[in-house]
Amino acid sequence: MIYSYYPGCTLKNKAKVLDKYARISAQALGFELEEIEEWQCCGAVYPQATDEIATKLASVRVLNSAKGKGQDLVTVCSACHHVIKRVNDDMRQNEDIRTRANNYLQLEEPYTGETQVFHYLELLRDKVGFDTLKEKVKNPLTGRKIGAYYGCMLLRPSSVIQFDDAENPTIIEDFIRALGAEAIIYPYRNECCGGYISLKEKELAGTMVDKIMDSATYKGAEEIITACPLCLYNLKKSGEANKLKVHYFTEILAEALGLKDE
Amino acid sequence: MQKANTEQAQLVKEISNVDTRKCMKCGKCSASCPSYEEMDIRPHQFVSYVQNNKVNELMESTSLWKCLSCFACVERCPRDVKPARLIEAVRLMVIRQKGQNYLLPDEVPELLDEEVPQQLLASAFRKYSK
């Protein structure tokens, strides 16, 4: 199966390992990620205002590109997924946004939200299947106590994102178990890490990171995985709490599949 | 001033597409907000300020720069009021004015370290500048 792939800006630079291990793991699991040509940055935050159109156009172009190839669209970064999926929902549900975006883009055929958007983790759950993934594991992560950090963008608002139960998600824990590790469930796994606020107000982000790290440590996690480059940065750099190791989920995926460089 | 405030409140409602009359003041948005302690006007109060046409006060509020857009308030509101969209609308009304950007390019170099992800810069510029 071939999917259109939108890596996003950070996966081309500071989060190269997130991208690299997503691609090589996909090959091992039997699907292919075909990077969209000339994609543009999604903007990293969803434009909530009713009168913002220009800030949604990069997402519409990506979605329309996947539509042109007759492929579903796959994202890995939480922020890219959040923005593109919500803009796609706007194009399906909101006639005003749909009309204004299409007037601007002047596509051969209007885009009306036809593309299906998947996060990579959803592919693992819904297309590959965690049972199949478990069978493909060559180096089970036995004995490791790993906490999933969902953050906010993968889950909310659940009415649009439809990724998992927003208050009690299980997808990343199921992923961890499929790789042979112990999934540590802790209360703050779906609370915000501070997001973009860490650029100007590191102290405020730090208080949030401390709560997350304290919560995970208290429950027995020895490491944390995430899908979001900004979450990874904040969890590593902000706050004073005992720091756990933080990895991208694709790193432990590749490790378990026997594909990771040492 | 009152007339201007009324017009501004209408603009907030148009930009946000939020019906503030749905709020039943349960406070769940503020209880869910990770920035609650840092805000001078809390999410549930924000809704009330718009409802009562007190937008000038909101435009001067530091809460505009504390909202994380984590959508906890949106997810957990039992009446689907979406306080985050109101904060977004007022924040936009501020930064769309000349000279009101909260982040300037000249400030960025001293805020960087080697690991700052592009996503952080992109999102901060989207939130703090027009």
Query: How confident is the model over A125-148, as pLDDT tens digits?
Result: 999 999 999 999 999 999 999 999
Q: How far is CA A30 from the centre of its chain?
A: 20
pLDDT at B5: 83
Can you tell me the distance from the alpha carbon of B87 to that of B105, in angstroms, rounded to the nearest whole number? Answer: 23
Can you tell me the distance from the alpha carbon of A132 to that of A138, in angstroms, rounded to the nearest whole number? Answer: 12
A155 contacts in B (CB within 8 Å)?
75
pLDDT at B1: 47
DSSP state of A141: -
pLDDT at B3: 54
pLDDT at A53: 96
A-B contacts (CB, under 8 Å): 128
B74–A157: do the CB atoms touch at under 8 Å? yes
Nearest CA in chain A to B120: A196
What are A39-65's pLDDT values in tens digits? 999 999 999 999 999 999 999 999 999
What are A26-39's pLDDT values in tens digits? 999 999 999 999 99
> What are the tokens at A143?
């004995």
pLDDT at A240: 86
pLDDT at A243: 83
> What are the tokens at A149?
């950090």
Confidence of residue A262 (pLDDT cuts 50, 70, 90): low
A208–B34: do the CB atoms touch at under 8 Å? yes
Can you tell me the distance from the alpha carbon of B84 to that of A137, in angstroms, rounded to the nearest whole number? Answer: 42
What are A66-95's pLDDT values in tens digits? 999 999 999 999 999 999 999 999 999 999
DSSP state of A198: G
A9–B122: do the CB atoms touch at under 8 Å? yes
B113–A237: do the CB atoms touch at under 8 Å? yes
Can you tell me the distance from the alpha carbon of A257 to that of A137, in angstroms, rounded to the nearest whole number? Answer: 5
Phi, psi of B127 (to 5 degrees): -85, -30
B17–A45: do the CB atoms touch at under 8 Å? no
% residues pLDDT > 90 (chain A): 97
Can you tell me the distance from the alpha carbon of B113 to that of B116, in angstroms, rounded to the nearest whole number? Answer: 6
The C-alpha of B34 sits at a distance from chain A's nearest C-alpha, in angstroms, of 7
Q: What angle do CA B60, B66, B70 make, to 5 degrees?
A: 135
Checking A84-88 for CB contacts under 8 A at 24+ apart, the result is A84/A6, A84/A42, A84/A59, A84/A117, A85/A117, A85/A160, A85/A161, A86/A46, A86/A160, A86/A161, A87/A46, A87/A56, A87/A59, A87/A60, A87/A63, A88/A59, A88/A63, A88/A113, A88/A115, A88/A117
Counting as low any pLDDT under 50, the low residues of chain B are 1-2
pLDDT at A158 over 90: yes
Per DSSP bridges, beta strands A245-248 and A223-226 are parallel
The Cα-based distances of B71 to A16, A50, A158, A198, B105 in angstroms read 28, 17, 10, 17, 27
Sign of the torsion angle spanned by Cα atoms B119, B87, A203, A152: negative
Can you tell me the distance from the alpha carbon of A246 to that of A229, in angstroms, rounded to the nearest whole number? Answer: 11
pLDDT at A179 over 70: yes
pLDDT at A10 over 50: yes
pLDDT at B4: 76
What are A221-252's pLDDT values in tens digits? 999 999 999 999 999 999 887 789 999 999 99
Residue of A192, A196, A236 lying closest to B127 (CB–CB)? A196
Cβ atoms of residues A177 and A137 within 8 Å: no
* DSSP three-state, residue A32: strand
Terminus-to-terminus CA distance in chain A, angstroms? 29
Burial of B45 (0-12, 13-18, 19+ CB in 10 A): buried
